[in-house]
Structure 1
Amino acid sequence: ITAYLMQRFTTRQLFQSSMIIFLAGTIVSAIATNFPVLLTGRLIQAAGAGIIMPLLMNVVLTIFPAEKRGSAMGMVGLAIIFAPAIGPTLTGYVLETFPWQAMFYGMIPFAVIV
């Protein structure tokens, strides 16, 4: 689906719309009071994030010259590998200290800034 969208829209339009979708899912998840609403919010988040990940490689290929693409893709790969490595530890701390909704409320400012 992302490949089709990348042909129809500019990179900027696609990135902004996917971040808005991700933000909407984050807000729905943060205000969820039961599991079906939380699941709906997470599905909306996944729709936005599912567009961002393939788009990320396209942005790297577009922005960086050929001689710098390898290092740029390496940095992207490092971030992708680092997140699952540190995520569970950080999540465990946050969930022990704050209610589970804090995970989503904490993500909202980052999604707005991006």
Structure 2
Amino acid sequence: DLMDFVFRVPPEVRAGDKILYTKGLFKRFPDLAAIPWQKTGLPIGTNKNIQRIYHYYQSGRLRVNRLLQMIGSSFLFKDHRDYADYDNWMRNNTELREYIYNIV
């Protein structure tokens, strides 16, 4: 089980040696290698050069959106890094929408 593995790894290894931790995690659970990380949108074990290129790409998108916002236009690029698509849930899940409206 994933959580058993995670908690068996000593804390100093989890915090200090991320490469060892990541490789061990993927060796034990290879299907996890394809899951994108919420913060970057890239799989966790992605090559550093690819991460750097993707970072520049994301920075460029952010700058374009900021410029468009300054001139009063709408965003050109949507940020898809949100872990949960709350907007979509509120639009399409009537039960959730009613529950939230009742709370508010």
TM-score (norm: length of structure 1): 0.27
Structure with bigger helix share is: 1
Larger radius of gyration: 2
- Which structure ranks higher in relative contact order (CA pairs < 8 Å, sequence separation ≥ 6)? 1
